Structure 1
Amino acid sequence: MNQTQTITLYQPLLHRLALKMVGSWQDAEDIVQDTFLKWLTLDQEKIKNTKAYLIKSVTNSCINHLNSIKRKKNEYLDAINPKEFVEKLDLSHIDIEHEISTALAMLHKKLEPVERAVYLLREVFNIEYDELQQIVNKKKENCRQLFSRAKEKLAIDTSKISFDMVNSAQLIESFKKACSFGEPKELIEDLRLEISQKA
């Protein structure tokens, strides 16, 4: 089998392998082409199993390619100074209190207390359904349905919403604390209180 026949025979196999490893059509093509170019410069008679050699070469090139991408990504991330980045951010135009109030107003207008509790705790704090069923005293499957229903309700467009809520200040405060410290214990108690008042 001559070189042209070898390339024609193995190119589709090598491209599929490279594509599966690197996930990019263009990168896979480049890797396979480079492998064949290198192979063409070698003494063919010294290679006992051409197919095995080409597969091994493509695999090694893919690994090197992925390692190079990872290294560049890490170098880029290391070059970023988070403190300096945050200091450069101009957040003066953002009124956090207003943003939170508006978001919670939307939740209060569209969702029932139990839906609101499940949505907030799942969406914002990523609390698992096992824990949610204990917090809101509902079965896990019911919690999934409540979360799904809440998302559907929130997707429906609503015009200007007024925020008329007796304990709004308390809920806003406990929500901000939960976001700041990653501990939604106080927020959970406030949400439970809302559910019990509605019942």
Structure 2
Amino acid sequence: MSIADEHVRTFEEARGRLSAIAYRMLGTVADAEDAVQDTYVRWSGAEHGDVREPVAWLTRVLTNVCLNRLTSARARREEYVGPWLPEPVVTEEPLTTLAERESVSMAMLVVLERLTPPQRAVFVLREAFGHSHAEIAAVLDITEVSSQQLYRRARGHVADGRARFTTSAEECRRITERFLSAARGGDQEALRSLFVEDVVAWADGGGKTTAARRPVSGADRVTRYLAWMSRDIPGLVVDLPDINGTPGVVASIDGVTVLAVSLHIVDGAIADIYLVANPDKLARLVVP
């Protein structure tokens, strides 16, 4: 194997981890793929003899690429039509622990949008990938004390955002199946019984399809709002794959994905409903 091939292999071995970091940092698959590609370009042109730890080097470059992209993404999202939600992804490999499910959940990614880019970077590297503050400080070119301060602030925001998991994967699936049955069957009493009183429904249409442009709050209002899910639509197929680590709902019409629904379930009840209908965010969503 040539030296060039060895460098390519080193990068490919790290690609999965880099993609996972980038998705949690940026919230969309397309942006994550672009960030990973930018990192590869820089890796290809690097002086590899000066790189002692390739994975650490790649993580540092990728994180800083993501930080730059977050700054421009925030400006775009301020002009977004309606609520901006992360791009849903089907997680084919089962996530066995609450920590794994939480780190990639739609609820967590929504809360991470409220953090500053440095806070988000520190939180993702610390919580999802187990980096020490010394390692994070090296990645971001800051002091360990600064890393610890950013992490504490980020944890405070996350705690305020109720993005917590207290329900097992098995119970989440049962609740999701009951949600789908009640919504599709038009059983509003059964549907309302699944919600916490201050449940919120978030719909992301991006101005490209019909969707509520403001969050809908309260169990009664959300129940009435979801009445449209009981319509009889020709060619409709509904699947229940795992979306972002938890059971979700994917609807397609004549083979085209038109809706992805992710539920945030806390203590056995639905606290948030995330409905993604923006076709740009559904183009890559493939149900196995």
Q: Indicate the TM-score class for this superposition, using the shorter chain for normalisation.
A: 0.3 to 0.5
TM-score norm. by structure 1 comes to: 0.37
For the pair shown, which has the larger CA radius of gyration, 1 or 2?
A: 1
Whose helix fraction is larger, Structure 1's or Structure 2's?
1
TM-score norm. by structure 2 comes to: 0.27
Instruction: With a CA cutoff of 8 Å and minimum separation of 6, indicate the structure with the bigger relative contact order.
Output: 2
